Amino acid sequence: MTSHRLFQGRLFLAWFGLAGCLFALSASAQTSATVDWRYTVRPQDTVSNLALQYLKPTYTWQELARYNRLPNNGVIQVGAQLRMPLSWLAVKQAQAKLTAISGDVQIQDLKGAWRQAQAGEAVQTGQQIKVGINSSARVQFADASELVMQPQSSVLMDTLSVYAGGYMADTQLRLQGGRVEVHANPQGRQGQKFEIITPAAVASVRGTQFVVDAQNGRSLQQTLEGQVALQTTQGHVLVQEGFGSAVKLGEKPIAPEVIKPAPVFQSPASRFVDFPMAFKWVPQTEVKGWVMQVGRDPQMAQLVLTHQADSPFFDAGGLADGRYYLRAWTLDDKGMPSKTVLHPFEVDIPRKLQGAVIQLAPHYVSMGSMTIDLVPLPPGQRYLVQVTRDAEGRQPVWYQANAGVVLSLPQLPAQDHPYHLWIWIY
């Protein structure tokens, strides 16, 4: 069974599996409008104890016995299936958990104040998480579902609940903007419900892996496993595994299209011992853009940087030493992403920061080029110079490897806070 709900002007993605063995859901024989959870009786179970454990306080064990047409004494046999209407089940508040954060991740408390999030902290219903530039976060829910928030995304925890003694979870999220990647119900439990709501349409998801992107009143959805019914007041489409669709606010979703193949690398290096850290892909005529991400894990839950370009070339800049993953996809003329390609690589270019990081007042670099004089180095040593938008070095805007002793910084866009200059020797 799949849950279908309509929300005016919203995109609604729900994963709701309802078949099972020990735990199962089915339509009640007493009324077609009732949905039951079926519990398989175990040794030591009694109707009274089960009612106390699973039902709302307003329902008694006698009502449960009558619903299942049990004898007056409520005797149940081990192995028998006891039906409990979903509407009778006690619902408890659940919590999510921030299992990974990278960069600028903010969380809003229930009073509306924002603060820096911490890895490992609990997230409650009503709280909101937002992710900054070149940043990411991974959130885990009660049924072990995971959501990876991509840069400049924002998600509100609308409902975080569990019932049936914690076996089933009801998770409802509101994607305010940005891209999220979901792996729902990885343990394959029955009766889990997972919903994502965005501003543009309504969709019902029957799958475990999917991507949602909400930007400027338009939502993109791609199904990696299962299928999605994407619906607005103007119509609906069924998006099967391997297909994607898009919809604008107040319009009908476009017909599902096959997700285009992933870009193909051209002889990518697996280890870098010198700059530049350059990657190329096979050119494609129908591609309008390329998106590249570098992270410390394949999910990009520990994202380092994101870059979008109009050509199949990427220079990873001055990455610190370590192991990374490069993920890339293309965008067509409708903005639909292709499948992704992933490549692991290692950086082994030892370097040392020369002095403190220097703050550059914005007007120094926004009015024109700026010249820097550097001290000559002994033979075998070279300069690496970087400029970033932030003090943490997560927002690089320019770099020069093997820099000379006289260096010209390019003109940079104006901003309301200092740029930061990093001078390394390698």
Confidence at residue 29, expressed as pLDDT on a 0 to 100 scale: 36
252 shares its domain with 104: yes
Query: Whole-angstrom Cα distance, residue 382 to residue 73?
Result: 87
Residue 48 CA to residue 39 CA, distance in Å, equals: 14
Residue 100 and residue 151 in one domain: yes
Q: What is the pLDDT of residue 205?
A: 60
> Measured between alpha carbons, how far is 331 from 313 in angstroms, rounded to an integer?
14
In a domain, 2, yes or no: no
> What one-letter code names the amino acid at 399?
Y
Q: Please tell me whether residues 123 and 194 are part of one structural domain.
A: yes
Whether 136 and 190 share a structural domain: yes
- In 19-72, which ranges are continuous DSSP H helix? 47-54, 61-67
CB 228 within 8 A of CB 241: no
Residue 5 within a domain: no
**pLDDT at position 27:** 33
**Is residue 176 domain-resident?**
yes
**Which residues lie closer than 8 Å to 111 by C-beta, 6 or more apart?**
none
Query: Cα–Cα distances in Å, from 206 out to 9, 221, 238, 319?
Result: 21, 13, 10, 40
Say how far apart CA 286 and CA 335 lie, in whole Å: 12
Number of domains composing the chain: 4
Q: Which one of 316, 331, 347 terminates a domain?
A: 347
Amino acid sitting at position 3: S
Domain region containing 217: 11-16+92-258
- 3-class secondary structure, 313: strand
Instruction: Indicate the DSSP class of residue 281.
Output: B
Distance CA 20, CA 425 (A): 61
* pLDDT, position 74: 80
The confidence score (pLDDT) of residue 61 equals 95
Burial class of residue 134 in the structure, from the number of CB atoms within 10 Å of its CB (0-12 exposed, 13-18 middle, 19+ buried): buried
Return the structure tokens found at 126: 């009503």
Answer yes or no: do 291 and 367 share one domain.
no
Ramachandran angles phi, psi of 277, nearest 5°: -95, 80
Which pLDDT does position 193 carry in this prediction? 82
CA distance 104 to 40: 47
Domain boundary, last residue among 258, 280, 314: 258
Task: Examine the domain organization and report whether 246 and 101 are in the same domain.
Answer: yes
105: domain CATH number?
2.60.120.1440
pLDDT at 308: 96
pLDDT at 153: 98
Domain match, 62 and 129 both: no
pLDDT tens-place values along the chain, 426 residues long: 333 333 334 444 444 443 333 334 333 334 345 678 889 999 999 999 999 999 999 999 999 999 999 987 788 999 999 999 988 999 999 999 999 999 999 999 889 999 999 999 999 999 999 999 999 999 999 999 999 999 999 999 999 999 887 888 889 999 999 999 999 888 877 777 888 888 876 555 666 788 989 998 899 989 998 877 777 788 888 889 999 999 998 899 999 999 999 999 999 999 999 999 999 999 998 899 999 999 999 999 999 999 999 999 999 999 999 999 999 999 998 899 999 999 999 999 999 999 999 999 888 887 777 899 999 999 999 999 999 999 989 899 999 999 999 999 998 888 889 999 999 999
The answer to whether the CB of 11 falls within 8 A of the CB of 247 is yes
